[in-house]
Amino acid sequence: MPIPFVDLQAAYLEQQEALDRAALEVLRSGWYVLGPQVRAFEQEFAAWLGLPDAAGVASGTDALLLALRACQIEPGDEVIVPSHTAVATVAAVELAGGRPVFVDIRPDSLTLDPDAVAAAITPRTRGLVAVHLYGQMAELDPLAALAERHGLWLVEDCAQAHGASSQGRPAGSVGHIAAFSFYPTKNLGAAGDGGLVASRQPELIERVRLLRQYGWRERYISEAAGLNSRLDELQAALLRVKLRRLDAWNRQRQALAAAYDEALAGSTVATPRVLPGNQHVYHLYVVRSPQRDALLEHLAHHGISAAIHYPLPVHQQPAYRHLAPAGGLPATERAAAEILSLPIYPQMPADHIAQVARCIHQFRS
């Protein structure tokens, strides 16, 4: 039996009745964008984060773009980003008019290296985007201290970290502003695209609300130059149903990751490192292997779908090469050659974990 990387249908089937009912209700209501479902979801998600408010938008990329625009990132402003991330993090900085400045990662957690960030700050630096990669929070305490000292905006990219925490503080509640994605495969996923901006500062959320719909406070009167980045009622209604299950799903991901950790002990792969004080929610379970490509092929040969997040660092991709720092990013480049994401999703059967682990133990390069 082949082992899939994820199974989104399994999540749907778990809540089929409630999801079907929520979808039908929206279809029958005649209200399809930015309505009562979106408002209710914004309030419920903000409460779940322990924040006063949030604004739903059309995608995670837009959430980052609008968060940066709410912070008034302007053309020529430098924004520090990791290169070891989804390209969306970097694309959003350029869409906002900023200049991405790539910085290396810690080799253990694979998140931004605070020392490298400190070294990259110039008089033109206006912000930094900390990506909580794979479900684990970046080291925000030193990053927040740097942001404070240099007057920078600290933006949290929480697209892979719904429910992660550090010393009890949820991802999205530590920086000035945070962006979430509800792309279907994320820990909280819609049946299509969706995103959300959260912040402790109501004026930032207010600004996102303005910008997400042409800068309108009053219909057809643009106070600011905005765009169309609205969240659908259908997606919001489905997300409200799924939000109720999110904490349980994250616990299931943690249990599966613990089973992987145990089953992979003594194998040739290095299992994920969790920084002290962090609760990892395992959006992805990423191991490292010096023979990664051969291992990926070995797994595929045995019907196991693994993947690489991400195979080519952003600073080496054709669209962004011109922004690559001199000397490259050694920890990023090394990680890209060794990382391998194993199958994980909340409904994954426990015997699949055992099968994947057995296959890895059998691997001989």
Please give the residue ranges that form the binding site for ligand PLP (CB under 6 A): 59-61, 85-86, 88-89, 131, 157, 159-160, 181, 183, 193, 195
Calpha distance 203→189 (Å, rounded): 27
Q: Which is nearer to ligand PLP, 137 or 263 (CB)?
A: 137
Q: Which is nearer to ligand PLP, 72 or 185 (CB)?
A: 185
Residue number of the CB closest to ligand PLP reads: 60
Q: Which is nearer to ligand PLP, 6 or 264 (CB)?
A: 6
First to last CA, the chain: 24
Residue 120's CB is within 10 A of a number of other CB atoms, namely 18
Q: Which is nearer to ligand PLP, 110 or 360 (CB)?
A: 110
Q: Which is nearer to ligand PLP, 159 or 360 (CB)?
A: 159
Which of 14, 55, 16, 18 minimizes the C-alpha distance to 34? 55
Contacts of 55 (CB under 8 A, 6+ apart): 42, 66, 196, 197, 205, 208, 209, 212
| Closest distance to ligand PLP from the beta carbon of 180 (Å) | 9
| Closest distance to ligand PLP from the beta carbon of 175 (Å) | 14
Give the C-alpha distances (Å, rounded to integers) separating 261 from 124, 271, 285, 361: 43, 6, 10, 13
Give the C-alpha distances (Å, rounded to integers) separating 43 from 5, 52, 168, 217, 242: 32, 8, 21, 19, 15
Which two three-digit tokens encode residue 150? Answer: 């240099």
| Closest distance to ligand PLP from the beta carbon of 194 (Å) | 7
| Closest distance to ligand PLP from the beta carbon of 189 (Å) | 9
Radius of gyration of the chain (CA): 20
| Closest distance to ligand PLP from the beta carbon of 179 (Å) | 7
**What's the per-residue H, E or C state across 22-42?**
HHHHHHHHCCCECCHHHHHHH
| Closest distance to ligand PLP from the beta carbon of 250 (Å) | 16
Q: Which is nearer to ligand PLP, 89 or 278 (CB)?
A: 89
